[in-house]
A and B are shown apart, each in its own frame.
Chain A
Amino acid sequence: MALKIVKGSIDRMFDKNLQDLVRGIRNHKEDEAKYISTCIDEIKQELKQDNIAVKANAVCKLTYLQMLGYDVSWAAFNIVEVMSSSKFTYKRIGYLAASQCFHESTDVIMLTTNQIRKDLSSPNQYDTGVALTGLSCFVTPDLARDLANDIMTLMSHTKPYIRKKAVLIMYKVFLKYPESLRPAFPRLKEKLEDPDPGVQSAAVNVICELARRNPKNYLSLAPLFFKLMTSSTNNWVLIKIIKLFGALTPLEPRLGKKLIEPLTNLIHSTSAMSLLYECVNTVIAVLISLSSGMPNHSASIQLCVQKLRILIEDSDQNLKYLGLLAMSKILKTHPKSVQSHKDLILQCLDDKDESIRLRALDLLYGMVSKKNLMEIVKKLMLHVDKAEGTTYRDELLTKIIDICSQSNYQYITNFEWYISILVELTRLEGTRHGHLIASQMLDVAIRVKAIRVFAVAQMATLLDNAHLLTGNMQRNGICEVLYAAAWICGEFSEHLENPMQTLEAMLRPKVATLPGHIQAVYVQNAAKLFATVLKSQEGNTDSTAAQETSQLMIDRLPLFVQSANLEVQERASCILQLVKYIQKLQQKDVEVAEEVTALFAGELNPVAPKAQKKVPVPEGLDLDAWINEPPSESESEDEQPKAIFAKEEPKHSRPRHTEVDEKELARRREARKQEQANNPFYIKASPSSQKVYQEAPGVEHIPVVQIDLSVPLKVPGLPMSDQYVKLEEERRQKARADKKKKEKKKRKEKHSGRGKKHDSGPESEEDIAPAHQVDIVTEEMPENALPSDDDDKDPNDPHKALDIDLDKPLADSEKLPVRSHRAAEALKSPAEDGETENAASQEPKKKSSKEKREKKKDKDRERKKSKEEKKKKKKHKHEEKEEDLLGGQADESVVQSDETSMVAEPPTSTSAEVSDLDFWLSNAPVPSNTQEAVTVAAAAEAAPEPEAPSGAAPDSEPDEPKDTEMEETKSSKHKKKKQKKEKEEKEKKKKKKHHHHHHHSDGGGEESVQNGTVEEEEPLPPMSNYCLLAENSYIKMMMEDIEQVYDIQGNLQDGSQVVVSVIFENKCDSFLKSMEFNVLDSLNSKLQRPEGSGPHDGLTVPFQLPPGVSNEARFVFTVQSIVMSQKLKGTLTFIVKNEDSSTHEKLDFKLHFTCTSYLITTPCYSDAFAKLLESGDLKGSSVRLEGVNMPFHHLLARICFHHHFSVVERIDSCASMYSRSIQGHHVCLLVKTSGQTVCIDAKCDEPTLLGNVLDEIKQTFSQC
């Protein structure tokens, strides 16, 4: 055995290894291919051997050959063999080969799953590393799904070397298997704070990559990244984070404001150019995102522009390039600040480096104005002449056209100049952009009516000198302009000075050498010209001239009839026959001109490119409906030998029928198309001629031959654009002089009073009036066109799948598959399957409703936060801290009490995180629209989280304690985090206090204290809004204060929705499952059930409860009338599952919908409140409470908390309160206290409701 190994290795010595192969290839330079093919044969032999070393050697050589372009996919299986070697050396060779040549359609990849899994869990870190590296190159959706869990485990490997690789590869896994993103994300997030900088950097890398595509999902990470940014010293990480912020700021302007300062600091402090550049870039992104000005806005812009100028002036070409690149970003929003550096940019146009010139060209686009357009274009034209190399020249050409045509020719004051520029551009040899010039000519001529005379004259000269354009190279791109020239001359032939001459020019024999589509236009427009000529000639008495013209046509057209191009042929023969007929008529002395011109009558108006698309679908027309019955899909059935024994004819009739129909349809369609094509009044989707060009045999593919012409091509008779520049200048001067004169006149008339010097200084933009009254015809749009934004997003973008909300809690169904194959999955019992499916289908629905509410809440919170923030700032002036602390205690006690009553929640981090973000963001000064201080409910004081001023606020209360609760249950690993959070929370509370004091100061002048009721020293007693619903030995149900969803439509007939949150707590040692929640509907209130279920069906609770766990479910009820409180009977059925048995259990409960639960805490201003009371619409009622033994502010807090009121105004021991029902009833209270008696006078527009509410208030206080 040992001998065999030694022998094997000795044999191996004489095998060709990689070095030998390379050497051999170098020695066979002449017959490389032949040599390599013999080598491949050798390799095939080697691969057949059993010795893994030989195989590995062969695979190694194959990898090299793959680089040289040889397909080695045939050896895929051998590569897998080598990958599975136990020796690292061979394994590495195998994985390298696999990474180079495996891809998604390599079928043997299937075989690697287990091998890779084994390697991933290898004790040797390099085995794992090599497997990860390889996998990163060839991971497929299947591999990603099967290995996601293993890789996720590796993210917490002890070795940072593995950790960082595992983190990085997760990105690839996400791409291939998007479902893994949500379960893996928490851990990925953790890695942002990994002690190893490499791992941290990898995590930043992955998240940046993810966030770049779907930034909005990662906004909540901004605080974390901000921390990293201010603490990290690794430039790679910094750059990534700064780039990421650049992607996030457009979504959250407040983030930008927060970023400006640290970024500015970095710009000033860093010595690394790369970092500086990225900082500048992100600052630019921030500035772009901030639409409204902020005080140091312009300073930041100035800083950026100034730093960029330094970059551009640097001798290093790289920096120059990047500087220009960033400059072009500023240009979009702040053109003014860039325009001041025009000199620098024009200078860059002369740079020897083409990349830099191109960048400078980009910038020019934004620098033009009416004033300098001519000057800049003139400079560019000089460059065009100088430019060597067609690519750059073409680029210049397109830029000139771009610059001139931008925003609807906004900057062009003289279209004659522009036309002559275009004509000058036709002198360019070998450009690919003939069609661009042509379409510009057409566009201008069609849309600027005033220029047509001039344009036609120019085009006529162009046609006359066509030989100069086409020269020897008929297949030159520039001849495209002849298309435009011919069309313009034909269409606007009435402006031609000498139509006869042009007609002759168009019928020259040389025209036959032009590309077909141009000839076709020539022929067609020759006919138009012919019509014009006839018309002018028939006016004369001499009829011979007209007949001569016809003869000319008849002589020349046969040339085109012989054309190989179908279209030319068709048009020519058609027109030829027409002319022949005309000639006949002419010989009979019939006047025909009128009728011939009628052929081409009617004006063509420009149509907006999207016009066709925007034609609204007429009502009652369903485009998706079948016109004919759809072809049956059961055709395959017919082929089945079903009818063998049946005597009847197989039903062929229907499919045949549709087939005929389809043919018929196609025919009709064709006919219709033809009809449309021939109908001159049918406006096609694209009115411009570009479409025709696209279809034309690719001009781009024609090799362009450069010919050195020593004599510059000057088309005789063509005006030079320079001439127009001068003319224009003269014109402007004249205009100025005129103006001056006029002004003088005016001044004279005005007795030249105050001397305003208008004539001094350069003329401003507005002063330049266009040369001739050019009316740019606006493009036609169909009536009532729909403003539709085209969705340009590529539906195949793999990143689209990764647009996943990461903050939603994980559902069971989303867990990563653990070590199972599809086969194993299939074995699952159908019952279980159904269950998970059920859960999954339930989940999103619940979530979405929750989300909606949360969003609303967030908005509210956001608004409030910013307000608080402001208040806090002001507050710093009045420092009254002791009270704050006391107040904070009160809050904490509430938190604790809530904690005790609450039980672990599913990890709903959404609201917490988002609010964290808001909180964090609000640290930045927000210049929000300064409204008057909005009444903040006094309940805010009592509740752990201030009630939102409007909307479905009560829900927000439990969120905070939930959050802390959750934090506690988390492993101690996150202690740090937790502390941080707690700190934040405390801060938050402090702030809350602050703002109350602010209210103090606000109302400082007056006696009355607005809103901030509870500034007394005493802590508030804890209050909970969860009440016990029902309980037995298995389960405890607690109902949260009912919260309302305001009926958005405000449609009272439909009733209003009420959401009830119920916490289910498992109190026994068994597993509770299949919980069903059912309520007996009353006439007034109904439980909302999913569509399709009966009125007595229960709702499945979307979770199961392991022992000791609790979870919350929400149920939606529709309520018709809200003036009465009501009780609903309900049952909860569930299965208690032990190890050995499972029993059905049932729990009855009563849901009590009190009237107060229909009230929404709504702030109200005292003036509005007074108005309301005065209006007289409200009916009064009052109640007296005896023996209330609590401080007044407690009393108010209780009313606020339990009955959803807000304090409008409070004066000593008297307070007015307000609330509103979900159906819009106003409820006003005046609470007075003297001793132990509390008197509540109330008014409401619904007496029944008021009575019930008062009763409930009474009850609240009788309980204590």
Chain B
Amino acid sequence: MIKAILIFNNHGKPRLSKFYEHYTEDTEQQIIRETFHLVSKRDENVCNFLEGGMLIGGSDYKLIYRHYATLYFVFCVDSSESELGILDLIQVFVETLDKCFENVCELDLIFHVDKVHNILAEMVMGGMVLETNMNEIITQVDAQNKMEKAEAGIAGAPARAVSAVKNMNLPEMPRNINIGDISIKVPNLPSFK
């Protein structure tokens, strides 16, 4: 079982948090902080597993994370999950994000956390891995987005236009914080599928 999925940036700012067990908001923040603290002080080329912190931990739990450019993707899982499998799942997740957002960067996650949630929902459900095939995930996400567009119809058009204008007015919206080298594959970790 996956207990939690966290995405935060190099400064510990949460970009997505998904807990499959209930915690109060305060505890959640504490967990994010602590996890960030644990993960961020690790070197680049050390292993991606971490025996869980105090809060989310317990001996059965592990933190499995990957660091992409400015973002940390952290999964907290118990012993029923394969460690290497989860690493691969993170890879699939990021690659899916990359496909859905067309060259994903941190800003996409900042402004469209709802979409990230929707994508994640097609991969992991209630703490269990639902789908690992990227094409299948993208098909389902696209189909739902299409439905959404169809529902918005004409009424949605002006809103979209306004939002586009709003975005244009923002000089501080650089798209340069690219997650970048997304195709880094850990050697010796042949992808699933």
The answer to whether B45 and A317 touch across the interface, beta carbons within 8 angstroms, is: yes
Query: Which residues of the other chain, A, contact B131 by a CB distance below 8 angstroms?
Result: 164, 198
Among listed A167-175, A909-917, A1187-1195, interface-contacting one: A167-175
A205 to B124, CA, bound (A): 12
Instruction: Determine whether B59 belongs to the interface, using a CB cutoff of 8 Å to chain A.
Output: no
Instruction: Determine whether A132 belongs to the interface, using a CB cutoff of 8 Å to chain B.
Output: yes
Closest to A71 in B: B25
Instruction: Determine whether B129 belongs to the interface, using a CB cutoff of 8 Å to chain A.
Output: yes
Instruction: Determine whether A228 belongs to the interface, using a CB cutoff of 8 Å to chain B.
Output: no
Among listed B93-101, B147-155, B176-184, interface-contacting one: B147-155
Query: Which residues of the other chain, B, contact A19 by a CB distance below 8 angstroms?
Result: 111-112, 163, 166-167
Among listed A9-17, A331-339, A746-754, A935-943, interface-contacting one: A9-17
Query: Which residues of the other chain, A, contact B170 by a CB distance below 8 angstroms?
Result: 23
Query: Which residues of the other chain, B, contact A126 by a CB distance below 8 angstroms?
Result: 143-144, 147
Instruction: Determine whether A355 belongs to the interface, using a CB cutoff of 8 Å to chain B.
Output: yes
Instruction: Determine whether A63 belongs to the interface, using a CB cutoff of 8 Å to chain B.
Output: yes
Q: Which of A88, A136, A277 has the largest number of chain B CB atoms within 10 A? A: A136
Closest to B145 in A: A89
A1023 to B111, CA, bound (A): 78
Query: Which residues of the other chain, B, contact A139 by a CB distance below 8 angstroms?
Result: 126
Instruction: Determine whether B1 belongs to the interface, using a CB cutoff of 8 Å to chain A.
Output: yes
Within 113-154 of B, Cβ neighbours of A (below 8 Å) are at 113-114, 117-118, 121, 125-133, 136, 140, 143-144, 147-148, 151-152
A19-B163, A208-B80, A322-B83 are contacts. A355–B126 as well, Cβ < 8 Å? no
A282 to B156, CA, bound (A): 55
The answer to whether B158 and A317 touch across the interface, beta carbons within 8 angstroms, is: no
Query: Which residues of the other chain, B, contact A876 by a CB distance below 8 angstroms?
Result: none
Within 44-86 of B, Cβ neighbours of A (below 8 Å) are at 45-51, 80, 82-85
Query: Which residues of the other chain, B, contact A13 by a CB distance below 8 angstroms?
Result: 158-159, 162
Q: Which of B14, B22, B29, B84 has the largest number of chain A CB atoms within 10 A? A: B84
A319 to B47, CA, bound (A): 8
Q: Which of B84, B113, B121, B126 contacts A273 (CB under 8 A)?
A: B84
Closest to A104 in B: B22
Measured CB to CB, the closest approach of chain A to B23, in angstroms, equals: 9
Instruction: Determine whether B43 belongs to the interface, using a CB cutoff of 8 Å to chain A.
Output: yes
Instruction: Determine whether A68 belongs to the interface, using a CB cutoff of 8 Å to chain B.
Output: yes
The answer to whether A9 and B155 touch across the interface, beta carbons within 8 angstroms, is: yes
B-facing mask of A1202-1236, CB < 8 A → 1, else 0? 00000000000000000000000000000000000
Measured CB to CB, the closest approach of chain B to A165, in angstroms, equals: 6
A9-B155, A68-B14 are contacts. A317–B47 as well, Cβ < 8 Å? yes
Closest to B149 in A: A89
The answer to whether B136 and A356 touch across the interface, beta carbons within 8 angstroms, is: no
The answer to whether A321 and B25 touch across the interface, beta carbons within 8 angstroms, is: no
The answer to whether A352 and B43 touch across the interface, beta carbons within 8 angstroms, is: yes
Measured CB to CB, the closest approach of chain A to B7, in angstroms, equals: 10
Instruction: Determine whether A209 belongs to the interface, using a CB cutoff of 8 Å to chain B.
Output: yes
Instruction: Determine whether B189 belongs to the interface, using a CB cutoff of 8 Å to chain A.
Output: yes
A678 to B103, CA, bound (A): 75
Q: Which of A22, A164, A320 contacts B110 (CB under 8 A)?
A: A22
Instruction: Determine whether A93 belongs to the interface, using a CB cutoff of 8 Å to chain B.
Output: yes
Q: Which of B87, B130, B163 has the largest number of chain A CB atoms within 10 A? A: B130
Query: Which residues of the other chain, B, contact A358 by a CB distance below 8 angstroms?
Result: 51
A92-B118, A165-B125, A168-B125 are contacts. A316–B188 as well, Cβ < 8 Å? yes
The answer to whether A88 and B47 touch across the interface, beta carbons within 8 angstroms, is: no
A352 to B46, CA, bound (A): 8
Query: Which residues of the other chain, A, contact B84 by a CB distance below 8 angstroms?
Result: 273-274, 277, 318, 322
Query: Which residues of the other chain, A, contact B186 by a CB distance below 8 angstroms?
Result: 316, 318
Q: Which of A171, A205, A316 contacts B187 (CB under 8 A)?
A: A316
Q: Which of A63, A103, A129, A352 contacts B114 (CB under 8 A)?
A: A63
Measured CB to CB, the closest approach of chain B to A218, in angstroms, equals: 14
Query: Which residues of the other chain, A, contact B110 by a CB distance below 8 angstroms?
Result: 22, 26
Q: Which of B80, B126, B128 contacts A243 (CB under 8 A)?
A: B80
Closest to B78 in A: A212
A69-B26, A88-B144, A92-B144 are contacts. A18–B114 as well, Cβ < 8 Å? yes
The answer to whether B82 and A243 touch across the interface, beta carbons within 8 angstroms, is: yes
Query: Which residues of the other chain, A, contact B132 by a CB distance below 8 angstroms?
Result: 201, 236
Query: Which residues of the other chain, A, contact B20 by a CB distance below 8 angstroms?
Result: 137
Q: Which of A17, A212, A272, A355 contacts B47 (CB under 8 A)?
A: A355
Measured CB to CB, the closest approach of chain B to A425, in angstroms, equals: 24
Q: Which of B45, B80, B131, B162 has the largest number of chain A CB atoms within 10 A? A: B80
Q: Which of A20, A137, A201, A315 has the largest number of chain B CB atoms within 10 A? A: A137
The answer to whether B128 and A168 touch across the interface, beta carbons within 8 angstroms, is: yes
Instruction: Determine whether A202 belongs to the interface, using a CB cutoff of 8 Å to chain B.
Output: yes
Query: Which residues of the other chain, B, contact A271 by a CB distance below 8 angstroms?
Result: 190
The answer to whether A205 and B129 touch across the interface, beta carbons within 8 angstroms, is: yes
The answer to whether B151 and A209 touch across the interface, beta carbons within 8 angstroms, is: no
The answer to whether A9 and B158 touch across the interface, beta carbons within 8 angstroms, is: yes
Within 1-38 of B, Cβ neighbours of A (below 8 Å) are at 1, 14, 16-18, 20, 22, 24-26, 28-29
Instruction: Determine whether A581 belongs to the interface, using a CB cutoff of 8 Å to chain B.
Output: no
A540 to B140, CA, bound (A): 97
Q: Which of B126, B151, B187 has the largest number of chain A CB atoms within 10 A? A: B126
A92-B118, A168-B126, A169-B126 are contacts. A355–B49 as well, Cβ < 8 Å? yes
A234 to B132, CA, bound (A): 10
Instruction: Determine whether A823 belongs to the interface, using a CB cutoff of 8 Å to chain B.
Output: no
A271 to B192, CA, bound (A): 10
A64 to B17, CA, bound (A): 10
Q: Which of A93, A212, A236 contacts B192 (CB under 8 A)?
A: A236
Query: Which residues of the other chain, B, contact A172 by a CB distance below 8 angstroms?
Result: 126
Within 265-321 of A, Cβ neighbours of B (below 8 Å) are at 271-274, 277-278, 314-321
A317 to B187, CA, bound (A): 11
The answer to whether A272 and B49 touch across the interface, beta carbons within 8 angstroms, is: no
Instruction: Determine whether A580 belongs to the interface, using a CB cutoff of 8 Å to chain B.
Output: no
Closest to B110 in A: A22
The answer to whether B128 and A209 touch across the interface, beta carbons within 8 angstroms, is: yes
Closest to A351 in B: B46
Measured CB to CB, the closest approach of chain A to B44, in angstroms, equals: 10
Q: Which of B20, B48, B128 has the largest number of chain A CB atoms within 10 A? A: B128
A284 to B51, CA, bound (A): 22
A353 to B14, CA, bound (A): 26
Measured CB to CB, the closest approach of chain A to B119, in angstroms, equals: 12
A274 to B188, CA, bound (A): 9
Instruction: Determine whether A759 belongs to the interface, using a CB cutoff of 8 Å to chain B.
Output: no
A322-B83, A353-B47 are contacts. A67–B14 as well, Cβ < 8 Å? yes
Instruction: Determine whether A96 belongs to the interface, using a CB cutoff of 8 Å to chain B.
Output: yes
A164 to B140, CA, bound (A): 13
Instruction: Determine whether A5 belongs to the interface, using a CB cutoff of 8 Å to chain B.
Output: yes
The answer to whether B128 and A171 touch across the interface, beta carbons within 8 angstroms, is: yes
Query: Which residues of the other chain, B, contact A22 by a CB distance below 8 angstroms?
Result: 110-111
Query: Which residues of the other chain, B, contact A318 by a CB distance below 8 angstroms?
Result: 47-49, 83-84, 87, 186, 189
Query: Which residues of the other chain, B, contact A209 by a CB distance below 8 angstroms?
Result: 1, 80, 128
The answer to whether A69 and B80 touch across the interface, beta carbons within 8 angstroms, is: no
The answer to whether A169 and B114 touch across the interface, beta carbons within 8 angstroms, is: no
For this complex, 29 residue pairs linking A to B, each with C-beta atoms less than 8 Å apart, are A9-B159, A13-B162, A17-B159, A19-B111, A22-B111, A23-B170, A64-B113, A69-B29, A88-B144, A92-B118, A96-B118, A124-B147, A126-B147, A132-B125, A133-B125, A161-B140, A198-B130, A202-B130, A208-B80, A212-B80, A236-B129, A273-B84, A274-B83, A316-B187, A318-B87, A322-B84, A352-B46, A353-B43, A356-B46
User: Which A residues are closer than 8 A to B by beta carbons?
Assistant: 5-6, 9-10, 12-14, 17-20, 22-23, 26, 60, 63-64, 66-71, 87-89, 92-93, 96, 100, 103-104, 124, 126, 129-130, 132-133, 136-137, 139, 161, 164-165, 168-169, 171-172, 198, 201-202, 205-206, 208-209, 212, 234-236, 239, 243, 271-274, 277-278, 314-322, 352-356, 358
